[in-house]
Chains A and B, each alone.
Chain A
Amino acid sequence: MKTLNETQLQRLETGLDAIREDVVSDLGERDARYIRRIIRLQRSLEVAGRILIPLSLTPVGFVAGTASLSLAKIIENMEIGHNVMHGQYDWMNDPALYSQDYEWDTACDSNSWRRTHNYEHHTYTNIIGKDRDYGYGLLRLSNDTPWRWRNLFQFADYVGLSVLFQWGVGLHELEYEKLLSGEISLRDKGGFLKEFFRKGGRQFFKDYVFFPLLTFPVAGKVLLGNLSANLARNLWASTIIFCGHFTEQAATFHEADCENESKGQWYYRQLTGSSNFTGGRWLHLLSGHLSYQIEHHLFPDIPAHRYPEMAPRVQALCKDLGIPYNTGSFGRQYATVVKRILRFSLPERLTRQAA
């Protein structure tokens, strides 16, 4: 693939550093107020959902309660949890918003997430073999991965992964593909598994045992509501995340290319390995601003609600340097994801034409 020369990389680095600096020096009251307002919204939605589901007398009330709880979970995971854990609000010095202590409302243990996502995925983005987020060791998304028979059915795998997304993410660090190949043994993962069961058990207990029992006469309804809310959140989170890195144009890299890379090269890899999608304010909020995946990968610890103001500057810089800036409508980007999953379920020789 196309790369930049030294001067261009230098210009990219200085340009992006400047964009970052402008926002960092402007962080303050506005950002604090924003995140606290979102947290208030999330708490209100969750409390409303938990009350409305058992007390609803009509299907409309039940659906409203479930929707409210789903929204609460989505906002908590995407705009609050994911972003807080990136350290986007560490500068506020508020223990409730401290990245390393935050625990979120999903089966995935936050410590495991911080290791695999903040560190591995954000550092080694789209490097085949190093970024395990690339296909999650389950899907073949480029010809860099050899084709196997299993890949024929990978669309079903994808749907399954989306439905159970919180458990998939929770088990990500298990590195099951390495377990299967015998590279590592279950014993190596003892510590991780203990954490996984502790956190996963906690989530299971809350949504499927405690709240249903608490509202015993209507336990079935509450169980159904909670299951639906988790399902809605799972599908949504999975869709957003797949749109971030697995669109048609998103580039992949090899370990050798990235050795001793400069800051400029790192920026370049983040830029070309990620993709944005456009939409309204609510779409951005519910995606945790991962609709600005490019900006997020360039500036993972800048409060995400700032990405919309940074994006035009990043895009202009890319245009200047002739770097592709991968963006499109949500629907279009998602369609290319589906296409990519389908296309690479076939062996290379059958799809070479299409490429």
Chain B
Amino acid sequence: MSAFNAQRITAMQWLSRQLLNQDVAGRYFDPLIEPLNPRWALGRMIATVERIEDETHDTRTFVLRPPRRWRGFLAGQHVTLALDINGVRHHRTFSLACAPETWQREGLIRITIKRTPEGLVTPWMHKNLYRGGALEISEAFGNFLLPDVEAPLLYIAGGSGITPILSHLESLACREYTAPITLIYCIRSAQDQIGAQQLEQLQHKLPLLNCQIIRADQGEGQPPRLLQASDIDSIKNIQARHCYLCGPTGLMAVATTLLETRDVPEEQVFQTFFAPLTNPLTDTAGGAVTLMRSNRELTVDSGQSLLEAAESAGLSPRFGCRMGICHQCSCRKTTGTVVNRNTGHVSGPGEETIQLCVSVPQGPVSLDL
């Protein structure tokens, strides 16, 4: 970066570059500070685990204390946690399951996490996070937010998709919300219900909250009970409702169609992600590649490296040896899986650095290029 096109930087940043060769001075000192107390880290935000609560047989709530300078959140937002597992940093995004008001009062936040048995990160968290442990947390983000004005609300949740909705409801309880609220909560079986206690308390605090719990499991030999039209028929004045959906894709699709048929205006329907977004795994190489910075979509076949593909699309990413030695072509992959064609090594699905010259996509991939 030359002096001419440098963005405006603060005096601190300038000095930190001059003296420490770091954009953020904290990064220089953190290796000395973090061993003393991780929450004092300057270059990144470290939260500590205050306590861990069991919700169901496979779901736990982690009560975290973010560092002082964490800016807080709005009901329904999420945070990204960074976890070092066997030396590798993994990022995962989770909804906050509590009210901002509670955080302001107690300095604590709740994150409810279901263990995905075939996953890497959630089983690790269940097994290895302990009271007093530390983990990196991002600022909150997301726009699954409560309406600015009091309006009647409808929530449709499935499984652990209840968590951002708990955040909403807790927040509404703190505000003494007076408009009617309906919650339809679909779960597999009674033992899968998350936040049972929390919901019970909420019903006392929110007299206008109407809670319907739908269990798919109807006993031996019965077909599963899914969300159906009759479930929303009893809702009065549904067109006026602001609707919030969070759950597995199948449920979301059914719910959206139902709301459409009842003429709920589209701009009143909000959805948020349910599980960490992962791409479908395929065994065949090649796939659709999204280049986010240049705003391009390419189709890459199995014979091509990402570098070659980007070049034939007219881009000129930086490269050196073109054989996997020099790392000049390193680039951030934000989602998707790639295979190293020299070693056959298959990458993880999340955000990480890859070498373009030896990487072949396996399914859809997006790159910071």
Contacts and interface: CB of A to CB of B under 8 A. Distances in A.
Contacts of A96: 27, 30, 43
A122 B325 contact: yes
A92 B43 contact: no
A47 B2 CA distance: 30
A115 B88 contact: no
Interface string B337-369: 000000101000001110100000000000000
Contact of A301 (B2, B28, B90, B327): B327
Contact of A93 (B17, B22, B32, B88): B88
A166 to B, nearest CB: 13
B325 A92 contact: no
A43 B29 contact: yes
Contacts of B21: 103-105, 202
Interface string B52-95: 00000000000000000000000000000000101111100000
Contacts of A104: 21
Interface in A198-239: 198, 202, 205-206, 210
A32 B88 CA distance: 8
Contacts, number: 102
Contact of B19 (A86, A123, A198, A210): A210
Given A92-B88, A103-B21, A118-B326, A123 B320 contact: yes
B321 interface: yes
Q: How large is the interface on A (under 10, 10 to 19, 20 to 34, 35 or more residues)?
A: 35 or more
B87 A24 contact: no
B353 A301 contact: no
Contact of B89 (A29, A92, A266): A92
Nearest to A27: B87
B3 interface: yes
B45 to A, nearest CB: 13
Contacts of B326: 114, 118-119, 122-123, 300
A321 to B, nearest CB: 22
Interface string B296-313: 000000000000000000
Contacts of A39: 31
A87 B19 CA distance: 24
Given A47-B32, A93-B353, A115 B325 contact: no
A189 interface: no
B327 A29 contact: no
Given A40-B35, A93-B88, A93-B90, A301 B325 contact: yes
Interface string B1-44: 01100000000000001110110000111111001000000010
A309 interface: no
Contacts of A86: 327
A27 B345 CA distance: 13
Q: Which of A28, A93, A194 has the most CB of B within 10 A?
A: A93
B343 A31 contact: no
B321 A24 contact: no
A36 interface: yes
B91 to A, nearest CB: 8
Contacts of A30: 87
Given A43-B28, A105-B21, A90 B353 contact: yes
7 contacts: A21-B343, A24-B345, A40-B35, A87-B327, A92-B88, A123-B320, A202-B17
The 3 tightest CB contacts between A and B, nearest first, are: A119-B320, A87-B327, A32-B87
Given A92-B88, A114-B326, A118-B325, 7 more contacts: A43-B28, A43-B32, A44-B32, A86-B327, A90-B327, A99-B327, A105-B21
Interface of B: 2-3, 17-19, 21-22, 27-32, 35, 43, 84, 86-90, 320-321, 323, 325-328, 330, 343, 345, 351-353, 355
